[in-house]
Amino acid sequence: MIKNGTIGLLKKILGSKSTQSFVIMSSVAVIQLCNNVYLGRELTKEEFGLYSFVFLNVAHLLAIFLIFGQGASVVRYFSSKTIEDYQWKKYLFKFLLLIIFPLIITSFTVKIIYHLDWFWFYMIAGGSFLLCNTNLTGAFFRARGWFNQAIIIERANPIVFFILLLFFFLFGKMNLDIASYLKLFSFLSVMPFIFYILANWNEGQIQVETKIYSDGISLWELSLTVIVLYHIDAFFIAKLLGYKELALFSVMIAIMRIYEFASVSLFSVYSQKFSKNRDINIKLFFKFLLIIVLFIGIFYLLFTNIILEILFKGKYYASFILIVLFTIYGSINLLYVLPSCYLVGHSDKKEMRQMLLGNIISIVIRIIIIYVLYDYGLFGFLLAGIISMGTRTGVGYYIIFNNRSNA
């Protein structure tokens, strides 16, 4: 009986969409790590820092920023509807055209502030627009319950990039320009598949309500503050400490990607479940998150420098206190999965405003601490991140349990 029960539990875990999503994300994480390790070895610290700034921070930030919350809004709007009954293609193409002008303006602004040449302007604008397409298409997949397919589409570019880098590893010599062109091509390579899928989906006659835009703007305000919180470090590190320190920061973030992939995997599944079901067991979900945080944290505390030594052969090294701070930072971010799922699925405008205020306060706190402690290098940046993210996560849990106590 015990054996059958264990086998049944194992089958249930392996059959879970969140488990499958995590396996996919973890596999992509290994590939992304291989990409970053190869580039981290081949490029100078200055070059790798610049590459990380443009492709791993600016392009991804603008891709989320320019969607204006429509990704989450699409999931929220269509999860309880049959997408094929609506004029969703018209909505999608119209929206993608609308973001071109703000994309050009924001890309040019980054170029001016960071004194980048025109090459990097084109890389930022092109990469960001392609990622906008990918992210918004992934939202339609997620709204239909196709979680794994959404993740594969959104994360296909690292796999293509890996294949391209492998060719140069075997037959050519890598430099920063080549790496940049290959990265942009990896973003572009997903487009034919997306166009094929979209072309074969049916479209109905029902117009998409303007509500999707207003809800999107509310969610975008939250998304905007969230992406600022996640990416603000890179922008300040590049400006205040230089690209060499940003290279170490990027390497550590790459090593600790398990936090991100656990977060994305859980959010992909549970944000849609929260949208469809108001009776999610929040306490059980929170306990589940704590167990995941504990295991991931122990792993990183024990093995981070061993991993760095194996992968980079002494080129990058982190002190134990820095590893502890990165671990705390990642744990706090992972714990925010529960509030983020709740906000997408259950929240009203009042709660969104409360969370927006919490995020703005967190950003202000972070910027103040960065300017006070940046002389301490990455230690100061991580301390600022822990305090600001802790504030945001605390506000999120307050909103959840205050809502339940008033229900």
Q: How high is the pLDDT of residue 15? A: 52
Structure tokens at 219: 């969610």
Structure tokens at 214: 């207003």
Beta bridge partners, 86, equal 206
CA 31 to chain centroid: 16
d(CA 40, CA 263): 25
Beta bridge partners, 206, equal 86
Q: How high is the pLDDT of residue 54? A: 94
Q: Contacts by 382-386 with C-beta closer than 8 Å and gap 24+?
A: 382/322, 382/325, 382/326, 382/329, 383/325, 385/233, 385/329, 386/325, 386/328, 386/329, 386/332
**Segments in the chain below pLDDT 50:** 1-2, 9-10, 13-14, 407
Structure tokens at 347: 């929240």
Contact call for residues 236 and 378 (beta carbons, < 8 A): no
Structure tokens at 363: 């950003």
Structure tokens at 82: 């049959």
Q: Is 146 exposed, middle or buried (0-12, 13-18, 19+ CB in 10 A)?
A: middle
Tell me what percent of the chain is helix, strand and coil, each rounded to the nearest 5.
Answer: 85, 0, 15
d(CA 179, CA 177): 5
First to last CA, the chain: 41
Residue 207 sits at the vertex; the CA angle it makes with 205 and 213, to the nearest 5 degrees, is 155
Contact call for residues 298 and 306 (beta carbons, < 8 A): no
Structure tokens at 296: 């991931």
Q: How high is the pLDDT of residue 407? A: 45
Any residues with CB less than 8 A from the CB of 42 and at least 6 apart, and which?
A: 174, 175, 179
Percentage with pLDDT > 70 across the chain = 85
d(CA 89, CA 84): 10
Amino acid at 260: E
Amino acid at 278: R
